[in-house]
Chains A and B, each alone.
Chain A
Amino acid sequence: MMSDTPKKAKAPSKEWPLWEVFVRSKSGLSHRHVGSVHASDSALAIEAARDLYTRRQEGVSLWVVPSSSIVASDPDEAGNLFEPAKDKIYRHPTFYSIPKHVKHI
């Protein structure tokens, strides 16, 4: 149940897989990435995330995801991927006024 290949010399945290932590700060909002924890399995990852990231009432719900499951875009391709959006200001809804009492938009 512990890590698959325990190695004697290493500290436990180096053996345990990494999990990305997402916290929902209150109902209705989406989960946001807040950081990561090391843990041997998903149940302990939730507990570690609870102890690290919600001790000051930061959240009402937690997700943990194995970091290895996250697929990232290639930094070398950042130019190709993101720069074409730069000169398309008409995609920003800046021409609308937002009522003051609407938060979290």
Chain B
Amino acid sequence: MSAELKAIYAQYLGDNSLILGQRLSEWCGHSPALELDMSLSNLSLDLIGQAQLFLGYSAQLLGQDLDEDKLAFLRDVMDFKNVLLVEQPNGDFAHTVARQFFFSAFQSLELEALKSSTDSELAAIAAKASKEVAYHLRFARDWTIRLGDGTEESTRRMQTAIEDMWRFTDELFHMDDTHQALLADGVAPDLNTIRAQWDALVDEVLAEAKLTRPGPCRPIMGGREGHHSEHLGHILSEMQYLQRAYPGAQW
């Protein structure tokens, strides 16, 4: 039973990285500048690498001849367990930055806590990934500040982006039954503790960026139970196309 819960939890972590990685890869060749094209592609590849590790571990726990590729390319929308934030469209560059800042701030704290998990495999993946995510956070933080405290237009766009992404942030900290059970075993971190740290970090950066923290709003949740926005289907139709059209195709 515990192995099954851990497998689900590893998919929470892996699917977040996979879907955001896929989203960021859409910028390849389209970024506002060559330098950003490289930065966003690097972030994307880091995240897909993390997904490979988390989903590989999940597959190992589930057995049944599964592997990370089968989990990534052969599951349907309702089987994906990523939070809704990461599947949101790239929008303009400010939206991509806002989404990245909120998620990387969360992920860096989550991985930092996961390093001391009682599950040594998850702890090892967290140790490797947290170095990558520390850079993602630095990148997203720096851009949030520059766009927020930039020109009239960049400030307006960044504030809009923060507000558009805000309603997806509550879900990050939602402790469902899987989280509760694994917290009791010392496998998963307490998301309530992480929320307090996240709030402090976000407040500090928004203040430096001269942006206004959005007020409370009705949160939108359900990603971990498979209730996704229509966007995820479109992401998967592109990401899974090759394996669906040519099953078992090898590189």
Which A-chain residue is minimally distant from B41 (CB atoms)? A51
B249 at the A/B interface (Cβ < 8 Å)?
no
Which B-chain residue is minimally distant from A8 (CB atoms)? B153
A37 in contact with B35 (CB, 8 Å): yes
Shortest distance from the beta carbon of B138 to any chain A beta carbon, whole Å = 7
Q: Please, how many angstroms separate the alpha-carbon atoms of A38 and B35 in the complex?
A: 7
Q: Which residues of B contact A40 (CB under 8 A)?
A: 146
Among B42, B139, B150, B151, which residue has its beta carbon within 8 angstroms of that of A55?
Answer: B42
A11 in contact with B149 (CB, 8 Å): no
The dominant DSSP class at the B interface is: helix
B32 at the A/B interface (Cβ < 8 Å)?
yes
* A39/B146 contact (C-beta < 8 A), A6-B151, A47-B138, A55-B42 known: no
A13 at the A/B interface (Cβ < 8 Å)?
yes
How many residue pairs, one in A and one in B, have C-beta atoms under 8 Å apart?
A: 45
Q: Please, how many angstroms separate the alpha-carbon atoms of A39 and B142 in the complex?
A: 12
Q: Please, how many angstroms separate the alpha-carbon atoms of A52 and B38 in the complex?
A: 6
Q: Which residues of B contact A1 (CB under 8 A)?
A: 145-146, 149-150
**B165-177 toward A: CB 8 Å interface, digit per residue (1/0)?**
0000000000000
Q: Which residues of A contact B149 (CB under 8 A)?
A: 1
Q: Which residues of B contact A63 (CB under 8 A)?
A: none
Q: How many residues of B contact A (CB 8 A)?
A: 18
Which B-chain residue is minimally distant from A48 (CB atoms)? B35
Q: Please, how many angstroms separate the alpha-carbon atoms of A50 and B36 in the complex?
A: 11
Q: Which residues of A contact B151 (CB under 8 A)?
A: 2, 6
**A18-48 toward B: CB 8 Å interface, digit per residue (1/0)?**
0000000000000000000111110110011
**B9-39 toward A: CB 8 Å interface, digit per residue (1/0)?**
0000000000000000000000011111011
The dominant DSSP class at the A interface is: mixed
* A44/B146 contact (C-beta < 8 A), A2-B151, A2-B154, A12-B32 known: yes
Q: Which residues of B contact A16 (CB under 8 A)?
A: 33
Q: Please, how many angstroms separate the alpha-carbon atoms of A96 and B196 in the complex?
A: 67
Shortest distance from the beta carbon of B145 to any chain A beta carbon, whole Å = 8
**A81-103 toward B: CB 8 Å interface, digit per residue (1/0)?**
00000000000000000000000
Shortest distance from the beta carbon of A89 to any chain B beta carbon, whole Å = 44
**B138-170 toward A: CB 8 Å interface, digit per residue (1/0)?**
110010011001110010000000000000000
B139 in contact with A2 (CB, 8 Å): no
Which residues of B does A touch, CB under 8 Å? 32-36, 38-39, 42, 135, 138-139, 142, 145-146, 149-151, 154
- Top 5 A-B pairs ranked by shortest CB distance? A48-B35, A13-B33, A2-B150, A51-B39, A51-B38
Q: List 7 A-B contacts (CB under 8 A).
A: A1-B145, A11-B32, A11-B33, A50-B135, A51-B35, A52-B38, A55-B42
